[in-house]
Amino acid sequence: MVGSHVLKLALASDEVSKVIVYGRSSIDFDHKKMEEFLSPVFTQFPVDLLAQMGDVDHILFCVGVYTGAVKRELFREITVDYPVELARKHLEANPKGSFTLLSGQGADRSEKSRMMFAEDKGAAENLLSTMYAGTFYTFRPGYIYPVEKRVEPNFSYKLSRSLYPLLKHLGPKFSITSHQLAEGIFTSVVRTPDQEILENHEILNYIHS
């Protein structure tokens, strides 16, 4: 919903010389500026990918999973272990690298929330912030309205989509489109944000500034 558009923006940018895509399933197109690596287990990084990590200036991490879609242990693995393990490999190869995380509204850095999503997003943010020490940025959107039509994953998302006109009317703190969010995440590569944490309204201000 978001990562695919971030990828298209990166490939279209004259300020980006190469894009490395990593995941568990292949995307459906090729591009002269893009190289793709796959692994069925995300944290078992291919040797050829690791060999190029030193040339990676900035990681844009858009992998995520819906609450309730997987068991508790796997949710934390995807939300915390995936980005942190990738970050470790990145910094080993390029200590001056940067990292942008697609997080979420309500991420709790005290890690005491009773909400699994808030606790785990907060944990991931804490670890990455310590690791990158000044070159980590986290985007915390509210409801993300999918610009491209899709099959909604559950009733809550179906309801949110139908209520989007109302959420938009309530102001910039509550919702953002998938394309606006993607633009913000990509922009962090070419124009460094002034702050580490960008909440929903701050993302909108950032892309319009």
Look at residues 99, 106, 105, 65 and name the one whose alpha carbon lies nearest to residue 83: 99
Phi, psi of 207 (to 5 degrees): -75, -20
59 strand-pairing partners: 99
Mean pLDDT of all residues in 146-175: 75
Q: Please give the pLDDT value at position 200.
A: 98
pLDDT band at residue 31 under the 50/70/90 scheme: very high
CATH 3.40.50.720 holds for 3-142+177-204? yes
* 3-class state of residue 128 by DSSP: helix
Share of the chain above pLDDT 70, in %: 94
Residue with tokens 């508790």: 72
Q: Please give the pLDDT value at position 129.
A: 98
pLDDT band at residue 159 under the 50/70/90 scheme: low
Mean pLDDT of all residues in 15-19: 98
Mean pLDDT of all residues in 30-44: 97
Share of the chain above pLDDT 90, in %: 83
